[in-house]
Amino acid sequence: MSAPVRVVLADDHPIWRDGVRADLGDGFEVVAEAGTAGEAIEAIRRTGPDLVVCDLNMPGGGGLKVARACGGEARIVMLTVSEAERDLLDAVAAGAVGYLVKSTPSDELRRALERAAAGEPVFSPSLAALVLGEFRRMSKTATGANPLSEREREVLQLVARGHTYRQIGAELYISEKTVENHVRNILGKLHLSRKHELIRYAADHGIE
């Protein structure tokens, strides 16, 4: 039996934290809670969690401050009421690996957080189109030789759309392990260290 995902839960509403903790169930262990950005940063550095579930709007700088401070140390997923494109893109730029709305059903939330803990970028389905739409408007014309193979471009495109490794494998008729290997190769070729950076690369190079 695999160990539970160790989580820091950050939200300035204790009742909401209680509800999320209950929704997470046995596959997750809440190792610390926080009500402000400062408390969240301290808790992350003290406990070294697998995952941080963080509200976008909290006292002390909110989830963006947490992501900027700790995005290199922990996988951070925003759990928020905001469906604004700007908030979503700011969160990704700050270092979050996911952005989920608080209306996400419990089962979907657990599955998304399991994927995020495994290193996959996750977005609420209702927001995936917003991500790509904004990236289309922001994307620049690619210059120079693209270092990626055609297959790697296909994988990157699907990662940017928020697909899971399993979904990518099914669509491209390859195994999940092969998808993981492609992502590792892409990261190496692009000199990127975190998977959410693939999304920004896709935007900058018009890969949709």
Note the pLDDT tens digit of each residue in 174-183: 888 888 788 7
Q: What is the DSSP string of the chain?
A: -PPPEEEEEE-S-HHHHHHHHHHHGGGEEEEEEESSHHHHHHHHHHH--SEEEE-SS-TTTHHHHHHHHHTTTSEEEEEES---HHHHHHHHHHT-SEEEETTS-HHHHHHHHHHHHTT--EE-HHHHHHHHHHHHHH-----S---S-HHHHHHHHHHHTT--HHHHHHHHT--HHHHHHHHHHHHHHHT--STHHHHHHHHHTT--
Same domain, 16 and 117: yes
Same domain, 12 and 100: yes
Same domain, 29 and 61: yes
Range of the structural domain that residue 185 is part of: 139-204
Q: Which of 26, 28, 25 is nearest to 8 (CA)?
A: 28
Note the pLDDT tens digit of each residue in 60-98: 999 999 998 998 888 999 998 888 877 887 887 788 888
Same domain, 128 and 91: yes
Domain of residue 91, CATH code: 3.40.50.2300
Same domain, 67 and 151: no
Q: Work out whether strand 75-80 and strand 122-123 pair parallel, antiparallel, or are unpaired.
A: unpaired
Note the pLDDT tens digit of each residue in 143-194: 344 566 778 878 877 877 778 888 888 988 888 888 878 877 776 665 555 5
- 3-state SS, residue 11: coil
Q: Which two tokens stand for residue 15?
A: 């009742």
Q: Identify the bridge partners of residue 208 per DSSP, sorted by sequence position.
A: none
CA distance 28 to 57: 23
**Which of 82, 116, 132 is where one domain is finished?**
132
